[in-house]
Amino acid sequence: MYRHSHLLALALLAPSLVLAQGPTPPIALTDSAPLVQTAQRLTLSAALALADSNNRALAAARKEIEALDASLEQAGARPNPEFSALMEDTRKASRTTTYQINQPIELGGKRDARIAAAQRAREMAVLDLASQRSALHARVTAAFHEAALAMERQQLARDLVTLAQTAADMTARRVQAGKVSPVEQTRAQLALSNARLEASQADSDVTLARRQLASLWGATDPGAALADIDTETLPALPDIATLTARVANGPAVQMARLEVERRQALARIESSKRVPDLTLSLGNKRDEEAARNMWVVGFSVPIPVFDNNRGNELEALKRVDKARDEQAIVELQWQNEAAQAYERLRNARQEAQALREDILPGAQSAYLAARTGFTLGKFAFLDVLDAQRSYFQARGQYWKALSSAFQASAELDRLAGNSPLAPPNAQ
């Protein structure tokens, strides 16, 4: 948005002066092509692919899945057998030597409960990867459109510098010819300086927006000019019933449900620990004094008198209840966020459509009429200044509405999952 009155005033002076030599064509609602042209342009799909391949957060999430694969394998492992040797009496003639293998046997479903908990943890990691990927796509989409719109604003700022320079040159010639006051030349130079400052700020905004986009795949610059976006096509407004159903089964809600199942599996592990494990023993005993070998068979079972694991079991059950409460919170939170994003998208679409179809054409027509009338001496300079200010403010509002619409649409896709939401009707 260009808020400097001097800049707007000078931008008006140039067309009015040029009208003395010939008619000025209307300003088109669509911006001209960016100044920098490259043979290869970065599209949104290419940016998403770069982010998928190079984003460190996604790489860390993939490593977590690999780690949980190993954890799942370990959860299914059975207890190792134990070998023991016992010698009674050190004298050879009366020595008794016992060699024995002890095999612990888990009872109460401990192994199955461990496997179930490990499976739920792995499923959560897979879903977390999908959720992070969806969120990353939303950020890339928003950053891509923000960078593209920053380039649109940059182009307008450069156009205003050209207008300001032309106005300054024409004003200087008219001052030399004695047709206008030298004060007008001072204003023209001031407006030119302001226009250059605005253009410099626009250049900086483009650089920052491009870096923000490239940072999503670990780079400092996209490395290529961005492909043009269609500023005339707004993001589609999804069907509210489809959106509600998708968000109710979105990544965060699914993760909350899996967390409840994982906590339930952990509670089953603690419950199974209340059942003592059985240890079977099999061995051979050599009695040197009797000169004979004897088989040794036995078993052992802990007696849960002092520790029956009741406290750990109760803690695990309470954490199940906590996970259920957190699931309800997540479901409500995501529905609220989806409703807010839906309203932002709907309002942004309405604002952009109104600006594009009604306000912008009217503001442009009023600006052109005021500019022509000022040249012919029918309007005051302030009237033309107000008309131009209204026109450029409408352009800025249109770009802001576009940016809000693209960001809200990307946020809805994140809340609903990876795949884009289908619109109720084609636009």
Residues 262-284 pLDDT 10s: 999 999 999 998 889 999 999 99
Asked whether residue 343 is assigned to any structural domain, the reply reads yes
Count of domains observed in the chain: 1
Q: Rounded to an integer, what distance in angstroms lies between the CA atom of residue 11 and that of residue 53?
A: 46
Q: 121 or 138: which carries more pLDDT confidence?
A: 121
- Which range of 92-96, 218-222, 341-345, 378-382 scores highest in mean pLDDT? It is 341-345
- The pLDDT-based confidence of 141 (bands split at 50, 70, 90) is confident
Spatial CA neighbour of 399 closest among 97, 121, 151 = 151
Asked whether residue 308 is assigned to any structural domain, the reply reads yes
Q: Is the pLDDT of residue 197 over 70?
A: yes
Q: 398 or 10: which carries more pLDDT confidence?
A: 398
Q: Rounded to an integer, what distance in angstroms lies between the CA atom of residue 135 and that of residue 326?
A: 21
Q: Is the pLDDT of residue 17 over 80?
A: no
Q: 343 or 14: which carries more pLDDT confidence?
A: 343
Q: Is the pLDDT of residue 315 over 60?
A: yes
Q: Is the pLDDT of residue 422 over 50?
A: no
Q: Rounded to an integer, what distance in angstroms lies between the CA atom of residue 130 and that of residue 58?
A: 9
pLDDT digits (tens, 9 = 90+) for 49-61: 999 899 999 999 9
Instruction: Quote the pLDDT of residue 67.
Output: 95
Domain that holds residue 144: 5-416
Q: What is the mean pLDDT of residues 206-215?
A: 91
Q: Is the pLDDT of residue 181 over 50?
A: yes
Q: What is the mean pLDDT of residues 236-243?
A: 84
Instruction: Quote the pLDDT of residue 378.
Output: 67
- The pLDDT-based confidence of 18 (bands split at 50, 70, 90) is very low
Asked whether residue 239 is assigned to any structural domain, the reply reads yes
Asked whether residue 176 is assigned to any structural domain, the reply reads yes
Q: What is the mean pLDDT of residues 400-405?
A: 84
Instruction: Quote the pLDDT of residue 231.
Output: 65
Q: Is the pLDDT of residue 34 over 80?
A: no
Q: 177 or 389: which carries more pLDDT confidence?
A: 177
Instruction: Quote the pLDDT of residue 421.
Output: 43
- The pLDDT-based confidence of 389 (bands split at 50, 70, 90) is low
pLDDT digits (tens, 9 = 90+) for 288-301: 888 889 999 999 99
Asked whether residue 363 is assigned to any structural domain, the reply reads yes
Spatial CA neighbour of 223 closest among 92, 79, 355, 50 = 50
The CATH number assigned to the domain holding 311 equals 1.20.1600.10
Q: What is the mean pLDDT of residues 140-166?
A: 81
Asked whether residue 423 is assigned to any structural domain, the reply reads no
Instruction: Quote the pLDDT of residue 359.
Output: 85
Q: Is the pLDDT of residue 1 over 90?
A: no
- The pLDDT-based confidence of 14 (bands split at 50, 70, 90) is very low
Q: Rounded to an integer, what distance in angstroms lies between the CA atom of residue 393 and that of residue 2?
A: 7
Asked whether residue 424 is assigned to any structural domain, the reply reads no
Instruction: Quote the pLDDT of residue 163.
Output: 67
Q: 191 or 419: which carries more pLDDT confidence?
A: 191
Q: Is the pLDDT of residue 115 over 90?
A: yes
Q: 178 or 253: which carries more pLDDT confidence?
A: 253
Mean pLDDT score across all residues of the chain? 80
